[in-house]
Amino acid sequence: MGDNAFAHEAGIHQDGVLKQKLTYEIMTHESVGIPGNRLVMGKHSGRHAFSERLKALGFNLNDLDMNRAFARFKELADKKKEVYDEDIEAIVAEEILRLPGQPDRYELLYLNVNSSSNAIPSATVKMKVDGRECIDHGTGDGVVDACYKVIAKITGSRSRLVRYSVKAITGGAEAQGEVSCLIEDSGIQVSGQGTHTDIIMASALAYINALNKIEYRKHYRQLVAREGP
């Protein structure tokens, strides 16, 4: 009904519609003014629907890469209600186009932060960028902000922090914390995750994880622009 008319999420429904629309659609979408049906990619979607969506996005993967991409898709689908085309594009860019053993462009080597009620929070960060060690220092509105500003300065990133969240994944005084952040750069949005007993370290790891994902997405777009889908 409504926005969900001609939308299919269950794997068996998607498979049936792809093979023969009349299996689950007793009328045409054109007859009621809808431009087409829609396969909602989520945790109930099957391999057939995922394969068709990849083809629609311009990907033609071999069986081995398809298995890897589908496994990553199911893992992501368990965490969010709907997996969008941008998510699938990211899966291919990060899991398939990345060469085996290829290191991340950015790596955190050292982090030191200082904060008190009488001083401006500051951070010193040492990173490896394209195999070269870089170190810098800066201040911010809190230690996480200071840390992120220094990382952005070292990497030359102009990304915008869209969302930041923290949760404990273990109990006790030495609980391990997980930080998730969503950043945007040149119209590309990616999420990064970091886990550590030190929440500031987890924050830095999450941000750098997101920046590395951004790099793979940009690399993918450059390949498409040069060679076509």
Task: Name 106's bridge partners.
Answer: 129
Rounded to an integer, what distance in angstroms lies between the CA atom of residue 112 and that of residue 150?
11
The Cα–Cα gap between 147 and 134 comes to 14
The architecture of the domain spanning 106-223 is 2-Layer Sandwich (3.30)
Q: How many CB atoms lie within 10 A of CB 148?
A: 26
Give the residue, 191 or 46, on which the prediction is more confident: 191
Mean pLDDT across the chain: 78
Considering only residues 73 and 150, tell me which one the structure prediction assigns the higher pLDDT: 150
Highest mean pLDDT pick, 27-41, 60-74, 146-160: 146-160
Pick the CATH number of 2-96 from 1.10.238, 1.10.287, 1.20.120, 2.40.360: 1.10.238
The residue length of the chain stands at: 229
Placement of tokens 């298995």 in the chain = 67
Residue range 103-124, pLDDT digits in tens: 789 999 999 999 988 889 999 9
- What pLDDT is attached to residue 36? 46
Q: How many CA atoms lie within 13 A of 131 on its CB side?
A: 2
Of 110, 106, 124, the C-alpha closest to 183 is 106
| Within this chain, domains 2-96 and 106-223 share the same CATH topology | no
Domain ranges of the chain: 2-96, 106-223
Report for 3-17, 19-33, 70-84, 154-168: range of highest mean pLDDT: 154-168
The per-residue pLDDT for 183 is: 92
Give per-residue pLDDT as tens, 152-205: 999 999 999 999 999 876 555 555 788 889 899 988 888 888 888 899 999 999
Least confident of 114-118, 204-208, 219-223: 219-223
Judged by DSSP in three states, 159 sits in coil
Cβ atoms of residues 115 and 121 within 8 Å: yes
Most confident range (mean pLDDT) of 29-38, 70-79, 112-121, 213-222 is: 112-121
Position 130: which residue type? D
Most confident among 32-36, 181-185, 216-220 (mean pLDDT): 181-185
Contact 34, 42 (CB under 8 A): no
Q: What pLDDT is recorded for position 10?
A: 53
